[in-house]
Chains A and B, each alone.
Chain A
Amino acid sequence: AQSVTQLGSHVSVSEGALVLLRCNYSSSVPPYLFWYVQYPNQGLQLLLKYTTGATLVKGINGFEAEFKKSETSFHLTKPSAHMSDAAEYFCAVSVPPFSGGYQKVTFGTGTKLQVIP
């Protein structure tokens, strides 16, 4: 079974500063990894995903994440925070369909990002 841990339920950064949201996963097979963003009272929107191939993944709104197998991490970064980045961010993990059946996507508990002007 896979699991995902997001370090820090709340993160505050100044506008223009680096955004770093941490995600570590556990999986017995090479995982699929996702980052989602949720604005207040809305659904989740996919920011980026890693399945196979290049380990540095670029997403929407200037975010990117790097899959590091040796560290079992998939941290989300953005070079310069904008006020509109204030939201809750969820990391998620699943596994490829090697043997059929239901491969569950497991979500982390979320990190709320506050951007200080």
Chain B
Amino acid sequence: DGGITQSPKYLFRKEGQNVTLSCEQNLNHDAMYWYRQDPGQGLRLIYYSQIVNDFQKGDIAEGYSVSREKKESFPLTVTSAQKNPTAFYLCASSYRTNTEAFFGQGTRLTVV
């Protein structure tokens, strides 16, 4: 079945450590996204990529980094520079950037 896989579902890290969230899709979509979700704030765009080897900052990119070396993969690194990293992170992909997005199941990151 086609879809988006995020791993792990739950992640715990100590403050000051970098952590990488995985996102893989087999939908053959060109566009991929990372969103952060906090209670009452909806979805906020962290980074997006329209094509392999290219990505752009979203609304809240500070403290995050991404790579897009393969069409199928768009990993997100939460660095120690991110001041409040505890959140629910959602990866998504779409055929074009203005069409409906397909979401992964999310990764809940807790930094202690």
Q: Are A32 and B98 in contact (CB under 8 A)?
A: yes
When each residue 13-55 of chain A gets 1 if its CB lies under 8 Å from chain B and 0 otherwise, what string results? 0000000000000000000101010000111111001000000
Q: Interface majority SS on A: helix, strand, loop or mixed?
A: loop
Partner of A110, one of B42, B97, B98, B105: B42
Contacts A94-B98, A97-B98, A104-B45 known; A44 to B103 CB distance under 8 Å?
yes
On chain B, the residues within 8 Å of A44 by CB distance are 43, 90, 92, 101, 103
When each residue 55-66 of chain A gets 1 if its CB lies under 8 Å from chain B and 0 otherwise, what string results? 000000000000
- For chain B residues 49-103, which have a beta carbon within 8 Å of chain A? 50, 56, 88, 90, 92, 94, 96-103
Q: Are A43 and B90 in contact (CB under 8 A)?
A: yes
Q: Are A43 and B98 in contact (CB under 8 A)?
A: no
Name the interface size band of chain B.
20 to 34
On chain B, the residues within 8 Å of A41 by CB distance are 88, 106, 108
Cα A102 to Cα B103 with chains together (Å): 19
Cα A46 to Cα B45 with chains together (Å): 18
On chain B, the residues within 8 Å of A102 by CB distance are 48, 50, 56, 97
Q: Are A45 and B48 in contact (CB under 8 A)?
A: no
